[in-house]
């Protein structure tokens, strides 16, 4: 039953309904947000509330937002529904492992914590409470935030919400991982012990190129040019749910490396070793991707097996290190021998030189201090007494 609108309220009406013998009363306001470009008809929305005052306030806020051009229509979608939509419709171009990581954050953390909340009622405070409730490391909380922020930013672009509530949240401080590059004598010990291992050539190339493990395992002979001495890094071998596949490098871009001669000599040795293995395989050899590093029958190497070999070598050498520390060691040694940051960035495949400086800034700081000391010594040697 519709009743006459209260004076001055225009489109606000009191509504009453009898259901199961009981009378229910509420207030309703209708307002126009614009016109349908296809039909020319008004696009109308409805606001409801328990009191006339509540509806009047909501109506004033809506009409003011329309006048200011900041109006966003009420969204019935929940955060959980939007996260599913975002995953299905907007993540088609991300890499499989990235999609797997995002899905884990969505299903394990975001949907259980915020999934039932209406998308347009999500506030910075609700998100902050959600972050604070996560029993995770600061780095893991930051990863969850990254996924939620990206999804809600798309919701802003789609006009589902007016602002991204994650922008106002405070994240726990992430302590930077302390890089532990190998000292020159440790590199020497590692290479000495690696000579006894069947993966010796792989580890040597890793030490003197800084290539990631996936890039080394995905390297093909097609991308090794012995005439120019150039290696092209344009793919990496990754594993998801036990299945191996090739994809572009981490930042999505390929790069070229002009390594020291020891690298090309090592690759020639690996090529000769591979040819002998092929001849000895009695027809069982199969290397369809033309991989540089393979097992005795041409099959790609398994990541955990590589790590197992590396661990055995470091234990014999008396070194505590991860495979990825070889990459850090290459970067630090490059800087220490005088390579400029831009060259190191290009060799490592970092997106920007700024990122390289951020990761290895403490090394360049030490180099600057050494430079200042050398300059002081020079000054002492030339100043007039």
- The residue among 119, 55, 53 whose CA lies nearest residue 86 is 119
Q: List every span in the chain annotated with CATH 1.10.150.130.
A: 79-168
- The residue among 92, 91, 108, 93 whose CA lies nearest residue 143 is 108
* Residue pLDDT, tens place only, 76-87: 789 999 999 999
The residue among 68 and 256 whose pLDDT is bigger is 256
Would you say 12 and 27 are in contact if contact means Cβ atoms under 8 Å apart?
Answer: yes
Q: Please tell me the pTM assigned to this model.
A: 0.66
Pick from 65-79, 154-168, 314-328, 368-382: least confident: 65-79
Mean pLDDT of the chain: 88
Q: Is residue 4 pLDDT above 50, yes or no?
A: no
Highest mean pLDDT among 36-45, 58-67, 141-150, 158-167: 141-150
- The residue among 131, 149, 141 whose CA lies nearest residue 174 is 141
- So what's the pLDDT on residue 122? 93
Nearest-angstrom CA–CA distance, 39 and 201: 70
Q: What is the CATH architecture assignment of 79-168?
A: Orthogonal Bundle (1.10)
* Residue pLDDT, tens place only, 287-325: 999 999 999 999 999 999 999 999 999 999 999 999 999
Residue with tokens 């008396």, as numbered in its chain: 318
Strand 22-35 relative to strand 42-49, pairing: antiparallel
Strand ranges for 60-125 from DSSP E: none
**DSSP run (H or E) holding 310:** helix 303-317
Would you say 251 and 214 are in contact if contact means Cβ atoms under 8 Å apart?
Answer: no
Conformation bin of residue 118: beta by default, left when phi > 0, alpha when psi is -120 to 50: beta
- So what's the pLDDT on residue 7? 30
- So what's the pLDDT on residue 11? 75
Task: Please state which CATH number belongs to domain 184-367.
Answer: 1.10.443.10
Residues linked to residue 26 through DSSP beta bridges, in sequence order: 15
Q: List every span in the chain annotated with CATH 1.10.443.10.
A: 184-367
Counting every residue written for the chain, the total comes to 385
């Amino acid at each position: 039953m519709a009743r006459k609108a209260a004076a001055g309220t225009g489109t606000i009406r009191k509504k009453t309904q009898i259901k199961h013998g009981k009378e229910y009363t509420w207030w309703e306001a209708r307002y126009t947000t614009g016109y349908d470009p296809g039909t020319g008809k008004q696009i109308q929305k409805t606001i409801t509330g328990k009191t006339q005052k509540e509806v009047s306030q909501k109506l004033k806020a809506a009409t003011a937002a329309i006048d200011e051009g900041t109006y966003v229509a009420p969204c019935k979608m929940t955060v959980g529904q939007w996260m599913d939509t975002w995953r299905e419709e907007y993540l088609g171009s991300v890499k499989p492992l990235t999609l797997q990581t995002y899905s884990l954050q969505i299903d394990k953390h975001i949907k259980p914590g915020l999934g039932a909340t209406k998308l347009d009622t999500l506030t910075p405070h609700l998100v902050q409470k959600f972050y604070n409730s996560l029993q995770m490391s600061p780095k893991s909380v930051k990863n969850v935030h990254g996924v939620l922020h990206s999804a809600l930013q798309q919701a802003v672009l789609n006009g589902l919400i007016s602002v991204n509530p994650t922008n106002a949240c405070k994240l726990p401080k992430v302590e930077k991982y302390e890089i532990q590059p190998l000292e020159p004598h440790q590199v020497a010990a590692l290479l000495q012990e690696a000579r006894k291992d069947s993966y010796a050539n792989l580890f040597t190339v890793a030490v003197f190129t800084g290539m990631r493990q996936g890039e080394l395992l995905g390297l093909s002979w097609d991308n090794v040019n012995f005439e120019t001495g150039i290696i092209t890094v344009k793919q990496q071998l990754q594993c998801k749910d036990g299945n191996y596949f090739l994809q572009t490098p981490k930042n999505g871009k390929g790069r070229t490396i002009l390594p020291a001669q020891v690298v090309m000599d090592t690759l020639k040795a690996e090529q000769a070793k591979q040819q002998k293995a092929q001849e000895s395989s009695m027809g069982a050899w199969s290397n369809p991707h033309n991989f540089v590093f393979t097992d005795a029958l041409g099959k790609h190497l398994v990541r955990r097996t590589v790590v197992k070999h590396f661990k055995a070598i470091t234990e014999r050498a008396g070194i505590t290190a991860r495979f990825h520390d070889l990459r850090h060691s290459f970067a630090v040694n490059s800087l220490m021998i005088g390579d400029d940051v831009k060259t190191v960035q290009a060799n490592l495949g970092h997106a920007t030189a700024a990122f390289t400086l951020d990761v290895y800034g403490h090394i360049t700081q030490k180099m600057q201090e050494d430079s200042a000391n050398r300059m002081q010594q020079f000054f002492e040697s030339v100043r007039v007494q």
